[in-house]
Amino acid sequence: MAVYAEEFYEYLQSRNYSDTTIQNRKNCFAYFLRWCDERGIIEPSEVSRPVVERFQKYLFTYRKKRDGEPLSFRAQSSNLVAVRAFFRWMAKKNYVIYNPAAEIELPKLEKRLPKYVLTSTEAEAVLMLPDIREPMGVRDRTILEVFYSTGMRRAELMNLSIYDIDMERGTVFIRQGKGKKDRMVPIGERAILWVQKYLAEVRPVFASTPDNGTLFLTAQGDIFTDFRLTQMVRDYVEKANLGKKGACHLFRHTCATLMLEGGADIRYIQQQLGHTDLSTTEIYTQVSIRKLKEVHTLTHPGARLEPHEAHGTEAAAAPAALPPSF
């Protein structure tokens, strides 16, 4: 089955799927291949619907070795989607008679709110942490500023070219973002100033020959890996000691939420983030409660302390003691 899998991955490349999507499919399908191998299932023709249903049950009951936690429904769904896509392709190629995963019901995914979002004060606290007396500190500060100003994805920042930021117009051209779509987004003046400083003082020191024009480089002149960039941002967030966790995507959530609280229309935020579906962006209307808080304070009779209550001059201001029999 592994031989067919390699041909399937080549097919995905020919269809212009992103490297990230292909790698995710590889990782998920490798999970299924190992599961089959452990049970002596070698040939694709041996995979029936009951076999796929057994795999689905395995995913549901599986517990991670490191912490005993179950797989998230999203992880379960990703594994099953990879299996279904593989056998759909196999059926089209007439390598199998039918797709055994065609009618498998995927787990219903919960709509999760971002667990952590930074306030503007907290975001500024993180931005101030890089040591800008050092070249790496200037680079790190610039990366954080670009994340905060644009809300772009990690992969989008990693793929930026030195030609993608228009300093005069204050825009960033994001090439082949998620879904292989280009888009143009605004970037703030402060972030532009940091990009200019980085380009003038730091990148020439880091760049190696030949230079492919990638904007953000490691000190060795290499392109950032996913892990390295995530770890760099996470280290600064942890160092800020805000009691909040996150890395690159934390700034994406923060950018969207603060724009919404500042009065931006949800459709502009959709454009900024590059969401195809507006419902994906609308999740931030649930995260941002500042407007709701303002309305609650203005309209709810119990939301505000009267002046005499604030100074403790009325007995009713304090909760009464509970009776002994309570």
Residue 141 and residue 145: Cα distance in Å, rounded? 6
Reply yes or no on whether 284 is catalytic. yes
- Return the CA Rg of the chain: 25
Q: Which of 153, 154, 203, 253 is catalytic?
A: 153
Match 């005069």 to its residue by tokens.
Answer: 168
173 by Cβ neighbours in 10 Å (0-12 / 13-18 / 19+) ranks as middle
Reply yes or no on whether 252 is catalytic. yes
Q: Which of 178, 183, 197, 234 is catalytic?
A: 178
Contact of 135 with 275, CB cutoff 8 Å: no
Q: Which of 139, 141, 252, 253 is catalytic?
A: 252
Q: Which of 25, 84, 154, 275 is catalytic?
A: 275
Q: Which of 31, 198, 236, 284 is catalytic?
A: 284
Task: Please state at what angle helix 248-261 crosses helix 266-273, rounded to 10 degrees.
Answer: 160
Reply yes or no on whether 190 is catalytic. no
Residue 46 and residue 68: Cα distance in Å, rounded? 31
- Could you tell me the two tokens for 66? 């490191």
DSSP classification of residue 180: T
Contacts of 186 (CB under 8 A, 6+ apart): 150, 170, 171, 172, 272
Point out the residues that are catalytic: 153, 178, 249, 252, 275, 284
